[in-house]
Structure 1
Amino acid sequence: MTSAVQPSRRGVLGAAATGALAVGLSGAGGPAAAASTYRSDRGDRSGLGAGGDQSDRGDRGAGRPVDGNRHRTVAILLYDGFTALDAVGPYEMLCRLPDVRVVTVAHRPGPVRTDTGQLALTAERALADVRHADVLLVPGGGNRGTTATMEDRAILNWVRLLHRRTTWTTSVCTGSLILGSAGLLKGLPATTYWASRPYLAKLGAVWTPGRFVETGRIITAAGVSAGLDMGLHLAARLCDDLTARATQLAVEYDPHPPFDSGSPEKADEATRRLALRLIDDAAVPAA
């Protein structure tokens, strides 16, 4: 990644950027220009979209093992400072699917701390040991974790390597900035955490509204909880709609939050500022 697109160490979540927040809420990048090229949870369910035809994208069973014996692998990247739900939300939607094996991957096997430092998940495999996956999932993280990973040559090279052969390459939250840093989003519609929208343009992507955005075989989800929605969508892609609906029931995912401030368009400025402060204050500072 060149210095021209390098964010500040406190910048990718917009923790101190009123200007970035204003640009993000104005829809920088032009959703109208990308309207025919994205697929969100409220969009086209035909399995086709701009950037890919039937041969490129496949139907909802794309990625299903031909012989019924080979497990399809979902590789979830873990890195110091990732956000827990970004990884665990999709994991819960995918880990019980038939013929699907979810594996966690990091620089080396062992515990990897989240952005708050209060929780660790265990990476089963090292980057060097995972050279192929049917699905790659890159979670987002706090400013420290995201910016460091956007500059991590080993991880970026690994992401590029896996992307060559994936059926689906996906991200949650600021994970799309990592995909962008690997050069995978140039000119493509994508989404990210709401306060990080301006950075997508700096990385060559076109911010597009939606809980998740699918273009070709790349799917990017918006912030944190949007990974649950993307995970269900992937369940349908990897298996079928019936299995995905059953998965939704199995985890009883029937959200009905007590408040209606789950997107920046619905929240007032004071709520937006407090949200960013809560994230920033809970983050483990860089060493």
Structure 2
Amino acid sequence: MDDTKHQIGLILFPQLTQLDLTGPFEVLARLPDAQVHLIWKDLDPVLSDVGLRILPTTTFTDCPDLDVICIPGGPGMNDLLNDEEVLAFVRRQGANARFVTSVCTGALVLGAAGLLQGYKAATHWASMHFLESFGATPVNTRVCIDRNRITGGGVTAGIDFGLLLAEALSDRMTAEKIQLYMEYNPEPPFTAGSPDTAPPAVVSEFRSYAEGMLKRRGEAVAQAAQRLKETTSEQASFKQPLPR
């Protein structure tokens, strides 16, 4: 391992949305002074929500101290919200990382780990309302930067996120050269990329499709938020001075 390089870690998990991870990976792995790790509990292949197999490069146990920790999103993120092994790793790395970041619904994992309290944050539009459960202020934007918290919106926003993070870690010229190499100059063929511009029938169809998953997510968020509240209360009580 080259200790002179920025240590960047992206968490893998079953049923993640791969572009949440591979978008920023494509950008950040091209930084000349960065080493990017794909992290999970073990080194077995991880299957994305559409069947792409991705190999972790390190485990929670063996991962070095990170300068940047990033959590992608996806349907499988629901299970992470109350997975103490994952949350403990995120909290530990987030405590000392230069940047604590996410893409899409990965922001909810940061929230469940207690790392978004008092911060502005972005996430996928369909899950934006869950951020308040973790003490965060939702912001409807492609990339939200609040101090050292950088959160990307839904899926494709991970590329914008990656380029802005690349600039922060290096410089604008380097980030722009990566953008040019990628020919990242989007001209989407439809206007359905936002609920504000998509045809109402498309929005309705999506909501019906995602209803069950979002219901389960809401239940997981409520459980995680309650656990976080109880933990915060316990910590506050512990810090109270003893009576004389």
Tell me the TM-score normalised to structure 2 length: 0.83
2:58 corresponding residue in structure 1: 125
Report 1:76-87 matches (<5 A). Answer: 76-87=10-21
- 1:110 corresponds to which of 23, 44, 59: 44
Tell whether 2:141 aligns with 1:207: no
Q: Percent identity?
A: 37
Q: Contact conserved, 2:111 with 2:131, CA < 8 A, in 1?
A: yes
For 1:264 and 1:171, how far apart are their aligned partners in 2? 21
1:13 corresponding residue in structure 2: none
Residues 247 and 279 (structure 1), Cα distance of their counterparts in 2 relative to 1, 3 Å cut: farther
Residues 119 and 276 (structure 1), Cα distance of their counterparts in 2 relative to 1, 3 Å cut: farther
Tell whether 2:54 aligns with 1:137: no
How far did residue 273 of structure 1 move? 2.5
How far did residue 69 of structure 1 move? 6.8
Q: Contact conserved, 1:110 with 1:124, CA < 8 A, in 2?
A: no
For 1:280 and 1:80, how far apart are their aligned partners in 2? 20
Residues 69 and 175 (structure 1), Cα distance of their counterparts in 2 relative to 1, 3 Å cut: closer
Report 1:44-63 matches (<5 A). Answer: none
Tell whether 2:44 aligns with 1:96: no
For 1:239 and 1:146, how far apart are their aligned partners in 2? 30
Q: Unpaired segments of 5 or more residues in structure 1?
A: 1-67, 283-287
How far did residue 223 of structure 1 move? 0.3
Aligned length: 213
Q: Secondary structure at the match of 1:260?
A: coil
For 1:83 and 1:124, how far apart are their aligned partners in 2? 18
Tell me the TM-score normalised to structure 1 length: 0.71
How far did residue 210 of structure 1 move? 1.1
Tell whether 2:208 aligns with 1:259: no
Q: Secondary structure at the match of 2:90?
A: helix
Q: Secondary structure at the match of 2:96?
A: coil
Q: Secondary structure at the match of 1:213?
A: strand
Q: Which has the higher contact order (CA 8 A, sep 6+)?
A: 1
Q: Contact conserved, 2:20 with 2:103, CA < 8 A, in 1?
A: yes
For 1:156 and 1:85, how far apart are their aligned partners in 2? 22
For 2:140 and 2:81, how far apart are their aligned partners in 1? 23
2:180 corresponding residue in structure 1: 249
1:165 corresponding residue in structure 2: 96
Q: Contact conserved, 1:75 with 1:102, CA < 8 A, in 2?
A: yes
How far did residue 271 of structure 1 move? 1.1
Q: Contact conserved, 2:16 with 2:74, CA < 8 A, in 1?
A: yes
Report 1:210-249 matches (<5 A). Answer: 210-249=141-180
Q: Contact conserved, 1:69 with 1:99, CA < 8 A, in 2?
A: no
How far did residue 275 of structure 1 move? 3.0
Q: Contact conserved, 2:43 with 2:55, CA < 8 A, in 1?
A: yes
1:5 corresponding residue in structure 2: none
Q: Which runs of 4 or more aligned residues in structure 1 lie more than 2 Å from their structure 2 counterparts after TM superposition?
A: 273-282
For 1:251 and 1:280, how far apart are their aligned partners in 2? 35
- Tell me the C-alpha RMSD between the 2 structures: 1.9
How far did residue 111 of structure 1 move? 0.6
1:11 corresponding residue in structure 2: none
Looking at secondary structure, tell me which structure has more helix per residue.
2
Tell whether 2:9 aligns with 1:75: yes
For 1:238 and 1:279, how far apart are their aligned partners in 2? 36
For 1:69 and 1:82, how far apart are their aligned partners in 2? 29
Q: Contact conserved, 1:85 with 1:225, CA < 8 A, in 2?
A: yes
Q: Unpaired segments of 5 or more residues in structure 2?
A: 214-244
1:37 corresponding residue in structure 2: none
For 1:141 and 1:69, how far apart are their aligned partners in 2? 31
How far did residue 274 of structure 1 move? 2.3
> Deviations along 1:127-165, whole A, 9 cap, x unmatched?
1111411111100011xx111011110000000000111
